[in-house]
Amino acid sequence: MVTIKDVAKAAGVSPATVSLALNNDKKVSRETRKRVQQVAKALNYIPNARAKALVKKATQIIGLVIPEIDNPFFAEMAQAINDCIKDSDYSIILCGTDNNPELESKYVNTFMSGLVDGAIFACLTDVNNELIMELARNYIPVVYVDRLNEDTQVIPVVKSDLKDGAYQLTRHLIALGHQKIAFIGRKDEERFAGYCQGLQEAGYPLAEDYVLAPSYTFAHGVAAGKKLLGLADQPTGIVCFNDEVALGLTQFLVKAGKKVPAEFSVCGIDNTVSRYYNPEITTIDVPKKEMGRPAAALLLKMIHGEQLQETEHFIHFPVKLIKRASTAPAGSA
Amino acid sequence: MVTIKDVAKAAGVSPATVSLALNNDKKVSRETRKRVQQVAKALNYIPNARAKALVKKATQIIGLVIPEIDNPFFAEMAQAINDCIKDSDYSIILCGTDNNPELESKYVNTFMSGLVDGAIFACLTDVNNELIMELARNYIPVVYVDRLNEDTQVIPVVKSDLKDGAYQLTRHLIALGHQKIAFIGRKDEERFAGYCQGLQEAGYPLAEDYVLAPSYTFAHGVAAGKKLLGLADQPTGIVCFNDEVALGLTQFLVKAGKKVPAEFSVCGIDNTVSRYYNPEITTIDVPKKEMGRPAAALLLKMIHGEQLQETEHFIHFPVKLIKRASTAPAGSA
DNA sequence: CCATTTATTTAAAACGTTTTAAATACAATA
DNA sequence: TATTGTATTTAAAACGTTTTAAATAAATGG
């Protein structure tokens, strides 16, 4: 391995001069700078990132923590963040937690050791919020994406209005004349709150039987479908946690001989794979790429020690209802 | 920031002892070990990863280079690799190249600086093969996934038989009576070779008009469909580069009033999103997770300096035809 | 031509660990 | 008691950079 000392010796200068020269510092004369650079290239010298990290107290790495890598929603967001980062000289450490809080906390601890210069946490539980708060307060800048946080001065938040999304879907189904509307998802999610609000405004009661969890995979959707068909009093409209669930559910219903949307109107959330199905599935578009960008930008800004604008501590994204073929007026069977 | 010296002072021992104690070295007495550990915990001491990396000449990070993060195929593979790695104390730096060889080479150079202890490169062009070979020879262990490499002694390869996949699909269509079969994909891909072999064995000619590129996104599939319908002599069977393309194509055809599979039989490759469509799309299953595991295992083995078995230098995975509803006998319209 | 400034170079410290080799303490043996 | 051996601790070097502060060289002004 060729080090800065080798270059120094070969160029007949001190290591300090080599360092300065390679960083194009004008303190070193034009000629020596050039010469050193040539020698370095000739020797195939590559500055050691580890040594640099130690002295600069920065690794040029940022951490990205997401629940599942193979989930179109997060994959798309990761891609967007990657796009923002790729022209800078930062790299991304990707941490998939599999929705496991312990694994998440393991990552947080790694981050505390100085492995990364900043981190983005996307929509997980809020189990480790305290720990992450400590990370943000004492170690490195942190940004949240679609994750709630009381103190946005310490951890800014980029957030889409998923509650409104579920609300819009519920209203949409109600407008179509559906009276019995189910929700597939957890109750501690804001999507559930939106669903409830929709029901409430229309004066519909919340039926326990109509709330099914857990729910974020295709398989969960299939399982929910099974339960649904087992009910004595079946719903005609269903709001799903996300597109994958909606797909699993729809495919199950269709295979079971049911008609979508004639007998069941199904909605997804997040606009990822919903357009892949036939009929295309009604959903809520969440601007993944548009959210990834400011998240990355904010984090870099913080890493560089710049002050955030007051408006940057909470960046809010509205969502949009996308009506497609999987929802139809009630009773069209 | 609390360093090892602070702990040493507080515990009344030397930094060396602290280091040994925290690494549970039996050279330091049971009592001091315990005491030091307590003091360290009390002071909230976290060993600095950057300093450690410098002296140990290892960062405990591995690089994973893939073309696109938001491509179900790679997302799934990344997830599998992540699963293998998560119990070790390694992290993954994810590099999405967007199929840009320059970006890829940028990552390779970063790797040469000692940022990672090893790297996995998944199916990209072979533009940078020389450079990566240098990386593998002089810097860190490297493993290829679905990427060809003449010297598997230096860079082991984990590979699925995609040529056979395309071949099987072509044979499948031929067996169904299709005589005019198109291919959507690039000619320099082995999938194309499989397609050609299939045609050839059946004595069918290769028609230039029937080969359409580029092709790896949903949009590409839509574009290909447009071109296809513009042909005077339209094919009845189509082999697509991957599932996303097949989906885009199918959806376009259906929207254009065509019947799938009655008028057009469509096949995907990689078994990702093909099952999401209705009709479910015939495809080739590629064992992504099964491939990710040995890739990760191999790399860790190499990083730890273990010798590979002769059979481990090239690990081959067969693929499987999955017949679904998007393919039917020719002339069933 | 000396005194000052300015430009250029460098020695040495620093970053925070691990590890080697030496020192010390302690116990056991003769 | 002296001797050898073993267990425990530590001083110091090492990892490969950057950076500070000092040294040197060159240039400017009087």
Burial A170-199 (b: 16+ CB within 10 A, else e): bbbbbebebebbbbbbeeebbbbbbbbbbb
The closest CB to that of A61, out of B83, B93, B98, belongs to B93
Amino acid identity of residue A240, one-letter, is C
Write out pLDDT tens, residues B277-286: 988 999 999 9
- Mapping DSSP to helix (H, G, I), strand (E, B) and coil, where does residue A322 land? strand
Query: CA-to-CA distance for A311 and A325, rounded, in angstroms?
Result: 38
B contact test, residue of A94, A217, A258 with most B CBs within 10 A: A94
* pLDDT band (50, 70, 90) for residue A150: confident
| Ordered strands of the B237-240 beta sheet | B211-212, B181-184, B237-240, B265-267
Q: Indicate if the alpha-carbon torsion angle B28, B32, B38, B43 is positive or negative.
A: negative
A contact test, residue of B1, B104, B278, B281 with most A CBs within 10 A: B278
Among A246, A256, A225, A248, which residue's Cα sits nearest to residue A324?
A: A246
Mean pLDDT of chain B: 95
Positions of chain C reached by protein Cβ under 7 A = 7-12, 14-21
Q: What is the residue-wise DSSP string for A241-306?
A: SSHHHHHHHHHHHHHTT--TTTT-EEE-SSSSSGGGSSSPPBEEE--HHHHHHHHHHHHHHHHTTP
* d(CA A206, nearest CA chain B) in Å: 31
- Mapping DSSP to helix (H, G, I), strand (E, B) and coil, where does residue A183 land? strand
* Residue contact A53–B53, C-beta within 8 A: yes
* Residue contact B115–A91, C-beta within 8 A: yes
List residue ranges whose Cβ is under 7 angstroms from nucleic strand C. A 12-17, 20, 26-32, 51, 54-55, 57; B 1, 3-5, 15-16, 19-20, 22-23, 45-48, 50-52, 54-56
Write out pLDDT tens, residues A13-68: 999 999 999 999 999 999 999 999 999 999 999 999 999 999 999 999 999 999 99
Query: CA-to-CA distance for B33 and A151, rounded, in angstroms?
Result: 39
C1' of nucleotide D19: residue with nearest CA: A16
The yes-or-no verdict on residue B229 having pLDDT over 80 is yes
- A22 in reach of chain B (CB within 8 A): no
> What integer is the mean pLDDT of A150-165?
96
Q: What is the pLDDT of residue B214?
A: 85
Using an 8 Å Cβ cutoff, are B154 and B181 in contact? no
Write out pLDDT tens, residues B110-161: 999 999 999 999 987 788 999 999 999 999 999 999 998 989 999 999 999 9
Query: CA-to-CA distance for A3 and A13, rounded, in angstroms?
Result: 14
Amino acid identity of residue A73, one-letter, is F
Amino acid identity of residue B176, one-letter, is L
Phi, psi of B122 (to 5 degrees): -110, 135
Is the C-beta atom of A4 closer than 7 angstroms to strand D? yes
The yes-or-no verdict on residue B332 having pLDDT over 90 is no
Query: CA-to-CA distance for A68 and A73, rounded, in angstroms?
Result: 9
Write out pLDDT tens, residues A258-305: 999 999 999 999 999 999 998 899 999 999 999 999 999 999 999 999
Q: Name residues whose C-beta falls within 8 Å of residue A262's C-beta, 6 or more positions apart in sequence.
A: A328, A332, A333
The closest CB to that of A96, out of B47, B53, B82, belongs to B82
- Whether the ω angle into residue B261 lies within 30 degrees of 0, i.e. cis, is yes
* Residue contact A53–B57, C-beta within 8 A: no
SS3 track for chain B: CCCHHHHHHHHCCCHHHHHHHHCCCCCCCHHHHHHHHHHHHHCCCCCCHHHHHHHHCCCCEEEEEECCCCCHHHHHHHHHHHHHHCCCCCEEEEEECCCCHHHHHHHHHHHHCCCCCEEEEECCCCCCHHHHHHHHHHCCCEEEECCCCCCCCCCCEEEECHHHHHHHHHHHHHHCCCCCEEEECCCCCHHHHHHHHHHHHHCCCCCHHHEECCCCCHHHHHHHHHHHHHCCCCCCEEEECCHHHHHHHHHHHHHCCCCCCCCCEEECCECCCHHHCCCCCEEEECCHHHHHHHHHHHHHHHHCCCCCCHHHHEEEECCEEECCCCCCCCCCC
| B93 contact residues in A (CB cutoff 8 A) | 61, 91-94
Per DSSP, helices labelled H in chain A are: 4-11, 15-22, 30-43, 49-56, 72-85, 101-112, 129-138, 162-175, 190-202, 218-230, 243-255, 288-303
| A69 contact residues in B (CB cutoff 8 A) | 75, 78-79, 82
Is the C-beta atom of A1 closer than 7 angstroms to strand D? yes
Give the CA dihedral A51, A52, A58, A63, nearest 10 degrees.
-70
Q: Name residues whose C-beta falls within 8 Å of residue B180's C-beta, 6 or more positions apart in sequence.
A: B207, B210, B233, B234, B235, B236, B237
C1' of nucleotide C19: residue with nearest CA: B16
> What integer is the mean pLDDT of A157-165?
97
Q: CA B76, C1' C16: Å apart?
A: 38
Query: CA-to-CA distance for A217 and A214, rounded, in angstroms?
Result: 9
* d(CA B148, nearest CA chain A) in Å: 25
Write out pLDDT tens, residues B10-57: 999 999 999 999 999 999 999 999 999 999 999 999 999 999 999 999
**Nucleotide of closest approach to B47 (CA, C1'):** C17
Among B34, B30, B35, B46, which residue's Cα sits nearest to residue B11?
A: B35
The closest CB to that of B93, out of A91, A113, A275, belongs to A91
Q: CA B32, C1' D8: Å apart?
A: 10
Q: Taking each helix axis from N to C terminus, what angle separates B4-11 and B15-22, rounded to the nearest 10 degrees? A: 100
Write out pLDDT tens, residues B57-101: 999 999 999 999 999 999 999 999 999 998 899 999 999 999 999
CA distances from residue A141 to A221, A305, B22 in whole angstroms, order as listed: 37, 9, 28
Write out pLDDT tens, residues A224-269: 999 999 999 999 999 999 999 999 999 999 999 999 999 999 999 9
Q: Indicate if the alpha-carbon torsion angle A199, A203, A206, A212 is positive or negative.
A: negative
Among B325, B330, B328, B246, which residue's Cα sits nearest to residue B279?
A: B325
* Residue contact B278–A278, C-beta within 8 A: yes
Write out pLDDT tens, residues B170-227: 999 999 999 999 999 999 899 999 999 999 999 999 999 999 988 899 999 999 999 9
Burial B200-212 (b: 16+ CB within 10 A, else e): eeeebeeeeebbb
Chain A window 27-56, residues with Cβ within 7 A of nucleic strand D:
45-48, 50-52, 54-56
Reported pTM: 0.94
Using an 8 Å Cβ cutoff, are B250 and B281 in contact? yes
Among B285, B263, B277, which residue's Cα sits nearest to residue B180?
A: B263
Q: CA B163, C1' C27: Å apart?
A: 72
Is the C-beta atom of B113 closer than 7 angstroms to strand D? no
The yes-or-no verdict on residue B327 having pLDDT over 80 is yes
* d(CA B205, nearest CA chain A) in Å: 33
Phi, psi of A116 (to 5 degrees): -130, 160
Give the CA dihedral A275, A276, A280, A286, nearest 10 degrees.
-20
Write out pLDDT tens, residues A96-132: 999 999 999 999 999 999 999 999 999 877 889 999 9
Query: CA-to-CA distance for B11 and A61, rounded, in angstroms?
Result: 33
Q: What is the pLDDT of residue A124?
A: 74
Q: What is the pLDDT of residue A16?
A: 96
Is the C-beta atom of A25 closer than 7 angstroms to strand D? no
Q: Judged by CB atoms within 8 Å, which residues 204-233 of B form the interface with A?
A: 218
The yes-or-no verdict on residue B266 having pLDDT over 80 is yes
* Residue contact B93–A93, C-beta within 8 A: yes
- A131 in reach of chain B (CB within 8 A): no
